[in-house]
Structure 1
Amino acid sequence: MCAGWRLTPFLAHSAGMPSRLTIHLSQLDAAPLAAELGLDPSLPDVPTREPFTAYLPAFALFGWSRDLAPPLAAATYAHDFGTPPPAWCSRLDPVCLQPAGASLRLLSLDATPLTPTQARALFERVSCADIIQGVSWHMATPLRWYVLSNEAPMLETSPPDSLPGGRVADGQPSGPDAPRWQAWLNELQMLLFDAPPNLAREALDQAPANALWLWGSGVTPTLGPSPFSRVWTEQPLIGGLSRLAGVTPEPVPASGTQLLDALATEHGLLDLAVNTTADDLHERWLRPLRRALDGKQLASLHLHVTGPAGNAVFDVQRRGLLSRVLYGAWRTR
C-alpha cells in the first residue's frame, strides 16, 4: 500500500442592525434572472481571465485580485483535508478520454462516478508506480485527486470544464516543464487503460477512468483575514477559501427563510449551488430574501452570477409597496 478547492451569497448582521447579503450563483444566465427579479438587464461584466473564468469570482470574494490563474487545487485541498497543502499542489483528477475523429474528447465522470472501491484500486495502481518524480499522492474523493511537490514546476493548466467541446488538445499543459509532465501523464494513461476496475466499467457500458487531468496547480494563496464571520457552503472551493481565511464552513441551510433565522452575525457568506429548477430557486431562496430586503431585515442584497454568457454583479433594490403589489400580481399570472 502506498501512502500518500456561479455560486455564493454572503451576509452581514450586528445587534440591532439589518444584515447585508450577497448571493453568488454559478452555471446560470444572468439576463433571465434579472428579468425574473425585475432588474436592469444591462449588467456589468466582471473582469475574468481565461480559462479559469468560472472560478475567479469565488477567489475575489476573499480578496484575490491577481492577474494570474488562481491556485484552485490548494483551496480545494484545504477543504478536503482541513488544512492547507504544505507545498506546491495540483489536482490530478480521473477523467475519461474518448476518440473523436483524429482527436480526443474529455468526458467528465460525474454522471457515472467511480465507486470508492474502484477509485482506491486505480489510485493505488498509479500512485505506487513511482512515475511522477518527487511527488506525494493524495485522494480526497473518488474524483478529486492531488499531487504535492516541494519543487513548483513551471506549468500552466486548464480546468477540465473549460475545454471547448471537450477538446483535449485545447487544454494540454504548457510552460517549460510541460513536456516532462505530459510524458508522465501518458505513462499513467497506459497504466489505467487495462486496469481491472476500468475493464469492469466498460463491461457495464460505463465510461472508464482512463486518464488523469492535471489542473489548478500552485502554492497556497496568502489571503487576509476573512471578511465573513460565518460561511455556509457545501462546495469545496468556497469551503477551502473559507478555511484558508480562518473560518470553518458550515452546512447550507435548507432555504432562505432558515438562512434569515441564522443571520445573527456581523458578516456571513452563503455559497449557493444552483442544482434545482428556476422556480425552486426563486421560491426557496430569492422570494424570502427579497421580502427581507423590502422589510428592512436586510440592509442590502447583491447578486454575483457566473454563467456561460459571462459574469455579472448587480444590486437588488428595496421596492415600495406599489412595486411589490405589481410584482406579486405578475408572478401569479
Structure 2
Amino acid sequence: MSTATLLLPARDRFPATALPDGVARALGRSDHSQEQPGEQPQLRRHFSISPDGWPVAALTRQLDVGDAAEACWLRADPAYVVPDMQGARLMGHGETLAPTEEDAAALLPALQTLFAEAGFGIDAPVPSRWYVRLPADAALPVFTGPDEVLGDDLFAYLPEGEGARRWRALLTEAQVLLHQHPWNHVRKAQGKPAINSLWFWGAGSLPQAVDSPHMQVRSRDSLLQALAKAAGADVDNRQQVDALVDLRHLRSLDQLGNEAITPLLAALGRGELRRLVLDFADGARYSLEASQRWRFWRRPAQLHAA
C-alpha cells in the first residue's frame, strides 16, 4: 500500500469556516507536528539536494532546455516594478505577468547587448523564465526569491555580499533600458503591466544528486517538476505508487475537504492507501492512518484552531 502526500498552501489562505465533519474528525485523530514554515522549507521536506543548496535556476534550466551542466545559472525573470514614495515595489514577475514569446523576442535583443557588455549571456527558452549563463566557478552575492519580495520595497532585497554592487548596477541599467523600451507601450495598450525590470534569483549549478521518497509527483509548477525529474520520480501520472500531489493553488475549503481529502480518507478506510499526509506551507503537518479511527476520544479539529 502507498502513501499520498498533499502539498498545500498555508492554512490562513483558506477561509475560517468549518471543514466537513469526516475530515475534521480525521484531523483531530491524526498525528500532528509543526515544521519550518515557508515555500523552500516545505519543498525541502520532500527533496534533498547534494551538495546542499537551492539552485532553482539550474534545475529549471535543465527542465526547460537540458543544457544546465557545466555552467552556473541565474534566473533573470521579467518583472513589473511600481515606484512609490519610499522607493519601488515588485508587483509582478514571471508567470504572473503572462509574458509571451513575442514579448521576449521584442525585449531580449537590447538586454542581450547590455549583458554581453558585462560578459554574460541571457536568453528566454520559456517566456516567463529568463536565464543568465555564468562561469561554473562564478562567485555570486546572495539573491532573494521573488515570492519573498512581491508587494514589498525591492530595495530591501537587492543582492548582498561578494560582487553585489556589480549586480545592483546591472539591474539598474536593465530597468532604465526596459522602462524606455517602446515595446512596453504595446503591452500597456493591450491592458498588460509593463515588463520594466528583471529579478535576479535562484543562482547555482546543477546538483550532483536530488533524492526524494516520492516515486510520483503531480504538479504544474516548473520547480517541482524539475526536482521530480532530477530525483527520477514519475511526473506523467502513469504509476499508482507513493505520490506527492501539489495542491498549493487551492483556496477553497470545499475543494480541500470534499474534493481532495474525503476521497483519500475513503481509500484509507478500504485499505487501498496506507497513509495520507497533509503538508501545509505554514509548517503544519498531519499524518492520517486508518488505525487512528480508534482514537474516538479526540475532538474534531479545524485548520484555524489547530
| Compared CA separation, residues 148 and 108, structure 1 to 2 (3 A) | same
What is the distance in 1 between the residues matched to 2:14 and 2:31? 8
**In the alignment, which residue of structure 2 is the partner of 1:330?**
none
Measured on the aligned residues, the alpha-carbon RMSD in Å equals 3.2
Structure 2 alignment gaps of length 5 or more: 301-306
| Compared CA separation, residues 233 and 203, structure 1 to 2 (3 A) | closer
| 1:78 to partner: Cα distance | 2.4
1:228 equivalent to 2:228? Answer no
| Compared CA separation, residues 42 and 32, structure 1 to 2 (3 A) | farther
| 1:138 to partner: Cα distance | 2.8
**In the alignment, which residue of structure 1 is the partner of 2:71?**
87
8 Å Cα contact 2:50-2:210 kept in structure 1: no
8 Å Cα contact 2:80-2:90 kept in structure 1: yes
Q: Partner of 1:61: helix, strand, or coil? A: coil
What is the distance in 1 between the residues matched to 2:140 and 2:114? 23
What is the distance in 2 between the residues matched to 1:235 and 1:112? 16
| Compared CA separation, residues 313 and 129, structure 1 to 2 (3 A) | same
AA matched with 2:260: W
1:301 equivalent to 2:276? Answer yes
**In the alignment, which residue of structure 2 is the partner of 1:12?**
none
**CA deviation string 1:175-230 (max 9, x = no partner):** 11110111111111111112122122234443210110001111222335543333
**In the alignment, which residue of structure 1 is the partner of 2:39?**
54
What is the distance in 1 between the residues matched to 2:270 and 2:294? 10
8 Å Cα contact 1:135-1:148 kept in structure 2: yes
Moved more, 91-100 or 150-159: 150-159
| Compared CA separation, residues 305 and 322, structure 1 to 2 (3 A) | closer
What is the distance in 2 between the residues matched to 1:186 and 1:69? 27
Alignment of 1:1-333 (within 5 A): 18-29=1-12, 36=19, 37-38=23-24, 39-40=27-28, 44-47=33-36, 53-64=38-49, 70-82=54-66, 84-109=68-93, 110-131=95-116, 133-150=118-135, 151-163=137-149, 165-250=151-236, 264-265=240-241, 267-275=242-250, 277-306=252-281, 310-318=282-290, 320=293
| 1:43 to partner: Cα distance | 5.0
AA matched with 1:20: T
**In the alignment, which residue of structure 2 is the partner of 1:15?**
none
Q: TM-score, normalised by structure 2?
A: 0.81
**In the alignment, which residue of structure 2 is the partner of 1:6?**
none
| Compared CA separation, residues 88 and 65, structure 1 to 2 (3 A) | closer
**In the alignment, which residue of structure 2 is the partner of 1:11?**
none
| Compared CA separation, residues 57 and 111, structure 1 to 2 (3 A) | closer
What is the distance in 2 between the residues matched to 1:161 and 1:201? 23
What is the distance in 1 between the residues matched to 2:267 and 2:88? 50
8 Å Cα contact 1:131-1:188 kept in structure 2: no
| Compared CA separation, residues 28 and 133, structure 1 to 2 (3 A) | farther
| Compared CA separation, residues 138 and 86, structure 1 to 2 (3 A) | farther
Q: Partner of 2:70: helix, strand, or coil? A: coil
What is the distance in 2 between the residues matched to 1:111 and 1:63? 28
Q: Partner of 1:155: helix, strand, or coil? A: coil
Percent identity, aligned pairs only, is 27
AA matched with 1:169: F
| 1:57 to partner: Cα distance | 1.9
8 Å Cα contact 1:78-1:243 kept in structure 2: no
| 1:268 to partner: Cα distance | 3.4
Moved more, 216-225 or 33-42: 33-42
What is the distance in 2 between the residues matched to 1:58 and 1:33? 25
Q: TM-score, normalised by structure 1?
A: 0.75
8 Å Cα contact 1:294-1:320 kept in structure 2: no
AA matched with 1:77: R
What is the distance in 2 between the residues matched to 1:164 and 1:276? 19
